[in-house]
Structure 1
Amino acid sequence: MTTPTTADKRTLTLVEALAEIRVSRAAFYRMRARGQAPRHLKLPNGQIRIRRADLDAWFDGCEVQEAC
Structure 2
Amino acid sequence: MAASTRPDQTAPTRGPRAASETARRGARTKGPTLDDIAEQAGVSKVSVASALAGRPGVSEQTRARIQAIAQEIGWQAGPARSRRNSRRDATTSQGDDEWVTVPEIMRMLKIDRRTWQHWMTRGEVPKNMFKLPNGSYRVHRNDYQAWLDGLRVDV
* TM-score w.r.t. length of structure 2: 0.37
**Alignment pair present for 1:38 and 2:142:** no
Report the alpha carbon displacement of residue 16 of structure 1 after superposing the two structures with TM.
0.9
Q: Percent identity?
A: 33
Distance (Å, rounded) in 2 between the aligned partners of 1:24 and 1:7: 28
Q: How many pairs are equivalent?
A: 61
Long gaps (5+) in structure 2: 1-93
**Alignment pair present for 1:47 and 2:136:** yes
> Higher RCO, 1 or 2 (CA under 8 Å, sep at least 6)?
1
Higher strand share: 1
Report the alpha carbon displacement of residue 32 of structure 1 after superposing the two structures with TM.
0.8
* TM-score w.r.t. length of structure 1: 0.77
Q: 1:14 aligns with which of 102, 119, 137?
A: 102
**Alignment pair present for 1:60 and 2:149:** yes
Report the alpha carbon displacement of residue 30 of structure 1 after superposing the two structures with TM.
0.7
Structure 1 segments of 4+ aligned residues over 6 angstroms from their partners: none
Report the alpha carbon displacement of residue 7 of structure 1 after superposing the two structures with TM.
1.7
Distance (Å, rounded) in 2 between the aligned partners of 1:52 and 1:30: 21
Distance (Å, rounded) in 1 between the aligned partners of 2:117 and 2:96: 26
Long gaps (5+) in structure 1: none
Give, as a single letter, the amino acid of the residue that structure 2 aligns with 1:59. Answer: L
3-state DSSP of counterpart to 1:30: helix
**What do residues 15-46 of structure 1 show as CA deviations (whole Å, max 9, x unaligned)?**
11111122111111110110111122111111
Higher helix share: 2
Q: CA RMSD in A?
A: 1.4
